[in-house]
Amino acid sequence: MTEIPTVLLVESSVQQIDHVRRQTLFEKVTILKYDCASVDEFVARLQPGGLYSNIRAIVRTGWLKAGPYASHRLFTSELIPHFPSSLKLICCSGHGYDAADIGALTNRGIWFCNTPNACTEAVANTGLVLVLETFRYLSFAQWCARYNWQKSRELGLKAVDPTGMVLGVVGLGSIGLAIAEKCQSALGMKIAYHGPKRKEEAEARLGGARYYADLTDMVSAVDCIVIAAPYTQSTHHLLSYKHFQVTKSIGLRVVNIARGKMIDEDALVLALETGKVVGVGLDVHENEPEVHEKLRKNWMVTLLPHIGVCSRTSWANFERQTWDNLESYLETGKPASPVNMMRAPYPMSQLE
């Protein structure tokens, strides 16, 4: 008789549970619920004879940055050598996958799956708000309403409407494109973008957008820039001191909803102090959860605690897509939305 595969379930305290779907799937697998007090305990349980030594899949669902396991980075290069040979599939909620060593997982023959587009709407809405904030300084206005009404009058010669301004999007993927569409239709902005290659289909959806192969060239031509690209070694400090030197004379507005380390925050603060940058909206931060002290104290800067994804719609999509990946692999040997590719996928039932 074929052994029922064992799945390790890592749950966030913030999630949207589909009880009916889980009940059906849990009849096909044995579920172990992750309850490790530390990553070291996780590694110990992976060893031969340990509780996790025969797992075939790991499913991590819900908001990864919430709950007791938010700091548990389980798919790094340091941990992958400890994975048992039985492990063939990792399903992890979220759009980005920079916290996983995809190359090392692929070399071990382990699928890694994210949940593409699951949080596109939530993050794009956050991006839209942050773009508007950089022009109208509404975070500062809220502070004034609470503490110093008259100080809000300083906005009279500073606030500007974004209509007719040029938005430069770094990374015109699903989220970047959604932000561009929202800013174009809601705010009347013109669109430019930068990335490794031109995207004619996206341009057509926008009714036209100017492509810049060189980021510095785009920075010099736009009024607001949004970082919406994946974080990799090559995009570390993608926006840095040299870029802030070529902004328009009226100054640049900067929005980041991707990863904090894509902007050199010391260079950003200097650009703010010298007028090269005149508006900032950040959902992510270079050393989060720490926030740069000079940014934190500046109420003309809009700061969010990495909550762009934060929507019950996102959690429901995470739940559906993580289980879609597991179910697809059980039935066909290939998950629904793999980040990496294997040469010879096999159903889990054939891996006994």
Residue 69 lies inside a defined structural domain of this protein: yes
Please state, in angstroms and rounded to a whole number, the distance separating the CA atoms of residues 38 and 56. 21
Domain termination site, one of 270, 285, 303:
303
Burial of 229 (0-12, 13-18, 19+ CB in 10 A): buried
Q: Answer yes or no: are the C-beta atoms of 110 and 131 closer than 8 Å.
A: no
Residues 90 and 207 in one domain: no
Q: Where are the alpha helices (DSSP H) in 49-173?
A: 102-107, 120-136, 138-147
- 31 lies in a domain? yes
Same domain, 336 and 291: no
pLDDT digits (tens, 9 = 90+) for 219-253: 999 999 999 999 988 999 999 999 999 999 999 99
Q: How far apart are CA 205 and CA 193, in angstroms?
A: 14
Whether residue 347 is predicted with pLDDT greater than 80 in this model: the reply is: no
Instruction: Kindly list the distances between the CA atom of residue 196 and the CA atoms of 67, 193, 213, 234, 300, in Å, as whole numbers in the listed order.
Output: 36, 10, 7, 12, 33
Is the pLDDT confidence value at 122 over 90? yes
Query: One-letter amino acid identity for 239?
Result: L
**Does residue 177 lie within any of the structural domains?**
yes
Catalytic-residue membership of 210: no
Based on the fold, state whether residues 106 and 127 are members of the same structural domain.
no
**Residue 264 and residue 343 in one domain:** no
Active site (annotated) includes residue 60: no
| CA angle (322 as vertex; 318, 327 as ends), nearest 5 | 145
Do 322 and 285 belong together in one domain?
no
Are 289 and 338 found together in one domain? no
DSSP H or E run through 255: strand 252-256
Please indicate, yes or no, whether residues 33 and 134 belong to a single structural domain of this protein.
Answer: no
Find the helix or strand (DSSP H, E) in which 92 lies: strand 89-92
Structural domain containing residue 74: 6-118+312-351
Long-range contacts, stretch 43-46, CB < 8 angstroms, 24+ apart: 43/79, 43/82, 46/82, 46/83, 46/84
> What's the rounded Cα separation, in Å, for the pair 352 and 338?
22
Average pLDDT rounded to a whole number, residues 191-197: 96
Q: Is residue 277 part of a domain?
A: yes
Instruction: Confirm whether 288 is a catalytic residue.
Output: yes
Percent helix / strand / coil, the chain, rounded to 5: 40, 15, 45
pLDDT at 350: 39
Write down the pLDDT at residue 204.
95
Domain assignment of residue 331, yes or no:
yes
Asked whether residue 181 falls in the same domain as residue 108, the answer is: no
Residue 296: CATH number of its domain = 3.40.50.720
The answer to whether 300 and 140 are in contact (CB under 8 A) is: yes
User: What total number of domains does the chain contain?
Assistant: 2
> What average pLDDT score do residues 84-98 get?
92
* pLDDT value of position 96: 78
Catalytic hit among 194, 259, 285, 292:
259
Check whether residue 177 and residue 296 sit in a common domain.
Answer: yes
pLDDT digits (tens, 9 = 90+) for 280-311: 999 999 999 999 999 999 999 999 999 999 99
- Residue 1 located in a structural domain: no
Q: Quick one: 293 and 210 in the same domain?
A: yes
**179 falls within a domain:** yes
Confidence of residue 99 (pLDDT cuts 50, 70, 90): confident
Q: Which of 203, 237, 288, 320 is catalytic?
A: 288
Residues 107, 124: one domain?
A: no
pTM: 0.89
**215, 297: one domain:** yes
217 part of a folded domain: yes
**What value does the mean pLDDT of the chain take?**
94
